[in-house]
Structure 1
């Protein structure tokens, strides 16, 4: 008796990057469509919403505290001061406009190009209006900056002069205390007189210093005032529609592509639809014995010969499987009913060379019974006529295991089945459901034909159906455990070959031994 050994399922990674990359690549229609949509939206925005006429001017700003290693703090302060109601009101006053300062500030902006160069951009209804606005804002900023420089210099000078006047008063008091000359007196009076002379000398020196600093404060102001000026006259900015369309289209393309990749990645993780052959084989508990690409099913004019050769190879492989036993074989589709019908007809044509064949059609949609037969096609009947067929004719069934399928008819259709599965169509839970339902109905799965696989999938879809080497060494000399009174598990390999142990699908590996024996 054959014993099915449930191997412990390996811990699945939290996120399979290879499967995620393949799933995202298979959803290229999603992110490709979003990228194209972003490109079209960007171009449409550039064409339908052109920027308003814009004028630009540059102002050289001289600062009193300029330093060679200044990180740009002073020019950023000037940019912030540019967007104040005081400068906006001054510009509006020079323009003679009654517009509010808050609304006017939205029509111009400033940016620091260097530590001392400020760029001002202004928009308007026309190019001339934009130039006038930019000039008014620049002149208002220069006037405000010059006024602040003069006010700062005047404040510094007045503070220094006030200090000088205070010390001058103290000097006058010291001179009054000294009098006309050094009087003759006691030694204590002589020492006091010497200290007054020293104080007078100190006060005179400090008064001279404050006078010099006040003069320097006034002398530096004209240099700063002359250094703050408009160095680039206001002029309109030329607008190129092709450049704007290319720029906006490129930005929209990148944003749409990023959004599409994110959507595809999230949909792949949430959808949990296996696309790699190793995952599909593991979840179904059967090896991938053949593959059929999309180009082989729907070839172009230049690939028809190659497509026919690919379909012929798959039909030959299925024919060898069908000839391995006398019982009927069924093709059960999941997500590819039309492709399963094509494979069933191809298999029937191949087998018809040796013996009479009839195709039993149980597909809910895209059935074969309603199609127009071609020369050389086998006979196609419905499920209701399958029971009345002669016993000497080989039957090839084709049915569906998609959601909503009639599971009760599968056991009557055939005892062996080949699953025709489209990669990325069924969820993990549904693949487990298919494997469990077929096992419950004693339908042996002899292999999986993978339709539309990923061209860059290099994973192995073959399940190793023997015990591990270590387990084989440990089990030598001991008879295999036999289940008393139980039939072989439905997912075991059947046929005339030697008895063997086949790996169970993932859902069966988690079923306790008592549960399996009870089944």
Structure 2
């Protein structure tokens, strides 16, 4: 008996591929490729940040800063560091802020004024105060009023402490004075009793001397407290008069522009990397081949120019080279024995305009070689005719007299139109025998069909036009599920894709573009050559 308690079930193929062909491993190469692919996004974000920084520099005037340096005197018996902390705490009280606001009539709250104040203790006795304001004049006025209000408030607190101490001393002095008077009265009474009270009178006199000495000592402490308080108040003063902090316009320009540039660059790169990490779109040749079950034999970057006027002339040679790669790669697929018609459909999975351009260029090229070409446009956009005219206009001179490709687009719904191949007798199709284009169809050496895939409709009509299919995929436009659905729709229609081609491929894509040999996209010859 076989114990199955430790048996691990094989994963369902559909579930194994549910997350797409991506391996889930994020490498530095993947991140670098994403940044290179969408460099225009983060470069534009960096430039935008730079411009915003410059706009902030010129649109928002720099704030003024006023500064003043104070020399703070403290009680020698108190630790200097603790005393300076107390001074800073007094500076940040609402009473000081309200006094400054009232003196200057500022339209702000004490909290807002306190937020604009910066206090720095350079040494245990030197305090530097900085105040921010809309301009230099306001900053100097605020820091001047702040220094005056602060020194006055601090002096009041010191006087209050001194007065409280003196009041305590005075209470002790009053008590000692009462004791002295009582001892004097007692001494006089005992002295009048004669010799028998002389010893007690002497004792009262001695105690009165001690009380008077303590009274003198406390009186001296009162005088010292008053002198020390006055000395601390008088010696605490402005060391460096209030002034505006000089600032450099160039430094501010560099800081604001650099901050905007770095911020925009970080946001742009972060957005690009976030989209790359969270996107389920496939763009590598290997990923596309795995999803389609068909090898990707040819790939090119852009084969069509941008719509913007500033991009029309950019990289023309690169686009032409990519277009020729796809056209020359597709040309062997339309070869057929003499006397037979080669019928091929180029099925666009994502980008119909790219497919129309490739189909039209191939048709014009084959017509230039002397072949009779019949083009069928089964796309909803119907752009094949215009693409053929442009392709013929680009043809080199010296090929006059050759037959131009015949372009046919069925009426009604082209994407559902059926062709004459294998059509049962009596079944309606787009090219009946009495159709004006039927003669061109019969004598054609090559039939090229431009089609697109709609998962809701399918491609069951394609076998009535062609017997071979090539898929054209735009990198980064579809996810793995859509590509798998496209491959299955083509196969369910009775057609096996010869291969696939990729447009918009990354220059950093070094994958081979072949699926697993066990997959359905490999022919026997390809399996043997591996």
TM-score band by shorter chain is 0.5 to 0.7
- Give how far 1:111 is off: 0.2
Alignment of 1:12-161 (within 5 A): 17-18=26-27, 22-23=33-34, 26-51=37-62, 54=64, 56-60=66-70, 62=72, 64=74, 73-74=85-86, 76-81=88-93, 84-88=96-100, 91-92=103-104, 97=105, 102=109, 106=113, 109-114=116-121, 116-121=126-131, 123=133, 128=137, 130-159=139-168
Of residues 359, 368, 378, the one that matches 1:344 is: 359
Structure 2 distance, partners of 1:175, 1:208, is 17
Structure 1 distance, partners of 2:365, 2:219, is 115
Of residues 239, 264, 267, the one that matches 1:256 is: 264
* Equivalent position SS for 2:93: helix
Q: 1:16 to 1:154 in 2, by over 3 A?
A: farther
- In structure 2, the partner of 1:329 is 344
- In structure 2, the partner of 1:362 is 378
Deviations 1:223-277 (A, max 9, x none): 5334532333333455666554443343333343444445445555665322333
Structure 1 distance, partners of 2:463, 2:181, is 125
Q: 1:349 to 1:84 in 2, by over 3 A?
A: same
Alignment of 1:422-441 (within 5 A): 422-441=474-493
Number of residue pairs aligned between Structure 1 and Structure 2: 459
Of residues 384, 402, 411, the one that matches 2:410 is: 384
Query: Which of structures 1 and 2 has the larger relative contact order (alpha carbons within 8 angstroms, sep 6+)?
Result: 1
Structure 1 distance, partners of 2:207, 2:471, is 111
Contact 1:292 1:310 in 2 (8 A): yes
**Structure 2 length-normalised TM:** 0.66
Residue range with higher mean Cα deviation, 99-108 or 323-332: 99-108
- Give how far 1:159 is off: 3.6
Contact 1:361 1:397 in 2 (8 A): yes
- Give how far 1:292 is off: 0.7
- Give how far 1:46 is off: 3.0
Residue range with higher mean Cα deviation, 292-301 or 340-349: 292-301
Of residues 279, 282, 289, the one that matches 1:281 is: 289
* Equivalent position SS for 2:386: coil
Residue range with higher mean Cα deviation, 336-345 or 23-32: 23-32
- In structure 1, the partner of 2:446 is 394
* Equivalent position SS for 2:92: helix
Note the residue ranges of structure 2 that are not aligned, 5 or more in a row.
Answer: 1-11, 412-418, 421-437
- Give how far 1:392 is off: 6.1
Contact 1:31 1:259 in 2 (8 A): yes
Deviations 1:284-323 (A, max 9, x none): 3333322212388679879655654444343333334554
- In structure 2, the partner of 1:447 is 499
Q: 1:334 to 1:84 in 2, by over 3 A?
A: farther
**Structure 1 length-normalised TM:** 0.68
Q: Does structure 1 residue 312 correspond to structure 2 residue 328? A: no
Contact 2:96 2:146 in 1 (8 A): no
Residue range with higher mean Cα deviation, 257-266 or 206-215: 206-215
Of residues 206, 222, 233, the one that matches 1:225 is: 233
Structure 2 distance, partners of 1:169, 1:403, is 112
- In structure 2, the partner of 1:472 is none
Q: 1:62 to 1:465 in 2, by over 3 A?
A: same
- Give how far 1:441 is off: 2.0
